Amino acid sequence: MRARLAAGVVLSLAGHARADMAALVGHGPASIAEAQARVARGDDGAAARENPGGVALGERDRASAGVTLLGAALTVDGARAPIEDPWAVVVAGDATVPLEGALRGRIRVGLGVHAGRSVARVLLPHEATGAQPYFTNRTQRLSVVPALSVRPASWLGVGVAVDALAGVSGAVDASVGRSGAPEPRIDARTPAVVRPIVGVQARPTRALSLGLVVRGRFAVPLLVSTRADVAGVPLEAQTTARQALFDPREVVMAAAWRRRALELELDVGHHAFSAYEGPGLLVAATLPGVDARTPPSGATYRDTWSVGVGATALVGATTLRLGLGLESSMMGPRQVATRLTDGAKRRVGAGLGREVFGARVELGASVTSVAATTVARAVGPGARAGGLLVATSLTVGTPR
């Protein structure tokens, strides 16, 4: 007869927010240098994510490839908070579908890719250590965004794109080691997730461009099931993260002005972080006659507003880029129990582009500062966080 144990298991872990590097800093050198303020002007492959409507207004087929690197000096309570997977291969391309007649030059396709060292990877630090959810788990996912864009009028582009992550499931089996410690069987599963992106870009005059893009919410749930025998007694645990990887629904409106060799753009965005259900893992452990479950973390989030200004100037054969950006905090000033924190972000960027030996070389960099902020909590001390994030990107592509 098996002996029976009665025990309660309560774990409280945190796996944090947003999903891909392009959402964090921008897709490629131009976007990074201009603080992502390109919704009203971008018309290459990078526009597949920024505003797929702009792809329709591109005039030629283009392709580029390069790398984006991140460097972080982020802190939580004085401890360093590194960025995982701080690099990605960046690919962008756009082309006109070769049709004749009334559809000639009316339909174009674009593609933006960010590829790091993993398809998807989620980090689960303990919430007692504190964290900045705006930056955690935002660089550890393969991002492939194809776009289809049409040009109903010479001055208007309308496009749709999808940001998809294929479902993943698998099992890990292990036997008892030399120490005699129980080795569990672990099953992990995430379903396929698709994020729609819809955009419009209009150029009613040579001097004026307008843009509007709506990016749907991206939320990847994670279910981990663990089974083990402890002294002959079965122990089962299910760990669920409803939103292990998360991007909020975003709406960005933009206007750009052109005059000779100068372009200026203003973007205003709304980001629905209030729909975020939180980073907490819900753990349910079962022993014979005993069920134990974690309570919700009690973290609260709020929508953010962002403002970005991008500028491009053509000086001889060199394109110069500048950008400034602001975004409010995604967290309220007081939490119940978690030690998660976030502050207002300020960004400055710069870059340049030039044709070298028949190829277009683009270089862009930005620095994002997080205002030092302490988030109080009802139980125990709060967390203080701040710091800097530096992004650098270099691509080589076809000439303009």
300 Cβ neighbours under 8 A, 6+ residues apart: 331, 332, 335, 336
Which residues, at least 6 apart from 181, have a Cβ–Cβ distance to it below 8 Å? none
177 belongs to a structural domain = no
Instruction: Give φ, ψ of 51 to 5 degrees.
Output: -165, 100
Phi/psi at 254 (5° precision):
-145, 155
Q: What is the pLDDT of residue 380?
A: 58
Look at residue 372 in the predicted model and tell me its pLDDT.
78
pLDDT of residue 395: 97
Tell me whether residue 194 is in a domain: yes
3 within some domain:
no
Q: What distance in Å separates the CA atoms of residue 243 and residue 123, rounded to the nearest whole number?
A: 13
- 31: in domain: yes
Residue 173 lies in a domain: no
Residue 357 within any structural domain of the chain:
yes
Q: What is the pTM of this model?
A: 0.82
> Is 14 among the domain residues?
no
Q: Is residue 244 part of a domain?
A: yes
Domain span including residue 345: 21-167+186-395
How is the beta sheet containing 290-293 ordered, strand by strand?
A: 168-172, 185-190, 218-230, 233-247, 282-287, 290-293
Number of domains in the chain: 1
Q: CATH number of the domain at 389, please.
A: 2.40.160.60
The rounded distance, in Å, linking the Cα atoms of 355 and 365 is: 19
Q: What is the mean pLDDT of each run of 10 residues along the chain (400 residues)?
A: 31 41 90 97 94 95 96 81 83 96 94 80 60 74 90 97 69 44 51 87 97 90 66 67 79 96 97 80 61 58 95 96 95 68 92 95 96 65 80 94
